[in-house]
Amino acid sequence: MAQSEIARPRRKAHGQRFQRMKDQALDLKVRPDAPLDQQNRFVDCGWGRLIFGHTFQEPADLIEMLREEGPDRRDIAFYVRDPHVLLGQAPQELFLDPSHTFRLNLATYRPARSRRKGFTVRRLASRRDADAINVLYASRKMVPVSPEFFWNGMDQREITILVAEEDETGAIVGTAMGVNHNAATNGADPGSSLWCLAVSPQARFPGIGEALVRRLAEQYRGLGIPYLDLSVLHDNDMAIGLYEKLGFERVQVFTVKRKNTINEALYAGPSVEERLNPYAAIIVNEARRRGIRAEIMDADGGFFRLSYGGRSVRCRESLSEFTSGVAMSICDDKAATHRIVSSAGVKVPQQILAGDETGLKAFLAQHGQVVVKPLRGEQGKGISIGISTMDDLQAAITTARTYSSEVLVEEFVEGDDLRLVVIDFKVVAAAIRKPAEVMGNGRATVGDLIEAQSRRRAAATGGESRIPVDAETIRCLAAAGCDLETVLEEGRVIRVRKTANLHTGGTIHDVTGETNHALIEAAIRAARAIDIPVTGIDLMVKSPREAQYHFIEANERPGLANHEPQPTAERFVDFLFPLSVPQPVRDAISRRPA
């Protein structure tokens, strides 16, 4: 018999098996004679309950279960039969989730040929993992889970929690939750599903989301489970592209949720400030949640007006009318900023204005390495770091003069870039900012790696973070013995910028809970010296846990969206409209010791 004749029945059998799998997705019926332990099934996932809608024979029973949703929880009724009937009986309480369901046939799934480098996917193993998962959930505006649930409230036969851990740093940069339907429904549903896939916007390595999905698929495949389902918002093109790449197929399954404040964005329609950048949108959305009127004055520029009671305040992102012109002028002039904060006892690096060559040579010889920056400027533009030769110094000064006619040359200080957000002279967030870097795979050029990393940073920040390929990038590559055409060996990591600014591809890592009190005091002292109520204070530190620091600069319009999950937008709106804070909260604040 010819080989093609042998393969024909195999292809036919494969097609029939795949068709049965697709048909099963539409067979959302529970048998009338099903045992009681297979009816009205749900599983507690910590953030809410996953309710198996197809195990409910009566819509009234499913509606009643959704009404029992706990406070600050998000229940999901999945596989709902006849959703139009369900919504017709409770139209003011329920809504049809605008998500698609995708299914992976585990019988035909093919594992990846090689493991991704730079991180490891494993099961949840510690309280530290649980805390890191909640940080990831908060960064993606997902409902947090009590850490106790992971140890005492979760049935590990039904739920699997995975994390992705960076091999070098130990940081948790991704997580996913899998639900074994067969165990959760006592056999009423043979499948499984994926929920809460979250990857840190600061993740340095590609493929984390894919690796988490594959690990769950391979686990359930090993258990003999026939398929893995997931629900994804209809307009999440990037996620849908990943799932289709892995072999997921869309199936006609419907999801119903309860109308609550958590789900509001899903049933209230699109917001009117779609063109606002993330830094303005986070403030406008917080204001609207409190009933504060928001008028968009110029979406492209991030200008808006907030009104509450008898007060109206114009803002440009986190810059409001309460920041004086004098304070703005001080922040705009980096030399003036240094003089003023230094006189307040804040430690600053030495600096001079770029002038005659003799003075520059002496300053470079004194410090060995220097930083060159425009006297006026923002977003890291025109800054060169770690300059050690006169030729590079002159070139950096020329670059900086394209942004400001006057240029500063500053003592280079080793350490990490720490941004502290100060609102109403209180530190509300602290984060280490790290320069952009790429990791080689043995195949791609450095230029290709930069382009790929830049796309990931732009996607993670709404287009705010990209790695520019300019003279500073070329200089950093040359210092590492590379250029844009170099094929970087597998596993090697190089920094492609020296500045840690978000707008030049840098990443931000929250350290609010571990910042030394001396650094917090220095930031507040600097803000008071400038007399600026809302600012981002940049310090160069050895570690956020140690007291040593040097003041770098003050930003009059810090990006509050960069510091989630810290409540920066909430504290900003508190500052603008203290009467919008609920009375019990104001009373509690007033009772705190000074």
- Rounding to the nearest 10 degrees, give the CA dihedral for residues 61, 63, 69, 74: 120
Q: Any idea what DSSP says for residue 317?
A: T
pLDDT on residue 409: 87
pLDDT recorded at residue 254: 93
Pairwise CA distance, residues 257 & 69, whole Å: 10
pLDDT at residue 74 above 80?
A: yes
Query: Given this model, what pLDDT does residue 27 score?
Result: 54
Under the banding of pLDDT at 50, 70 and 90, the label for residue 244 is very high
Query: What is the per-residue pLDDT for 16?
Result: 56
All structural domains of the chain: 103-228 (3.40.630.30), 350-411 (3.30.1490.20), 437-505 (no CATH)
- Interatomic CA distance for residues 57 and 31, integer angstroms: 9
Q: What is the mean pLDDT of residues 74-79?
A: 95
pLDDT at 545: 95
Identify which of 389, 420, 412, 384 has the alpha carbon closest to the alpha carbon of residue 400: 384
Helix, coil or strand: residue 549? strand
- Output 467 or 512, whichever has higher pLDDT: 512
Of 364-378, 388-402, 421-435, the range with the highest mean pLDDT is 421-435
Instruction: Provide the 8-state DSSP code for 399.
Output: H
Q: Cα 301 vs. chain centroid, distance in angstroms?
A: 23
Over range 92-114, report the average pLDDT.
91
Average pLDDT over residues 168-187: 93
More confident residue, 419 or 273: 419
Pick the closest to residue 555 from 197, 279, 200, 201 (CA basis). 279
- pLDDT value of position 594: 47
pLDDT confidence tier of residue 424, bands split at 50, 70 and 90: very high
Chain centroid offset of residue 117 CA:
21
pLDDT confidence of residue 1: 47
Give the tokens for residue 355: 């002038």
| Across 101-110, 127-136, 239-248, 429-438, least confident range | 429-438
| pLDDT at position 315 over 90 | yes
pLDDT at 26: 47
Q: Picking from 226-235, 261-270, 484-493, 566-575, which range would have the lowest pLDDT averaged per residue?
A: 261-270
pLDDT reading at 586 higher than 60? no
**Rounded-to-integer distance, Cα 428 and Cα 537, Å:** 12
**376 or 185: which leads in pLDDT:** 185
Using alpha carbons, select from 96, 67, 68 the residue that is nearest to residue 83: 96
**Bigger pLDDT: 70 vs 565:** 70
More confident residue, 474 or 218: 218
State the average pLDDT for the chain. 86
Please compute the mean of the pLDDT values over residues 535-561 and round it to a whole number. Answer: 93
The tokens of 98 are what? 């605008």
What is the predicted pLDDT for the residue at 32? 58
Q: Of 17-21, 202-206, 390-394, where does mean pLDDT reach its minimum?
A: 17-21
Residue 495, pLDDT above cutoff 50:
yes
Contacts made by residues 258-267, CB under 8 angstroms, sequence distance 24+? 258/66, 258/67, 258/69, 258/75, 258/93, 258/94, 258/95, 259/92, 259/93, 259/94, 259/95, 260/69, 260/74, 261/289, 262/72, 262/73, 262/74, 262/143, 263/74, 263/95, 266/95, 266/97, 266/98, 267/95
**pLDDT on residue 395:** 85
Q: Tell me what pLDDT residue 310 has.
A: 85
DSSP state of 235: T
Strand order in the sheet with 384-387: 351-353, 407-411, 370-374, 384-387
User: What is the structure's pLDDT at 114?
Assistant: 75
Burial status of residue 419 (CB atoms within 10 A of its CB: 0-12, 13-18, 19 or more):
buried
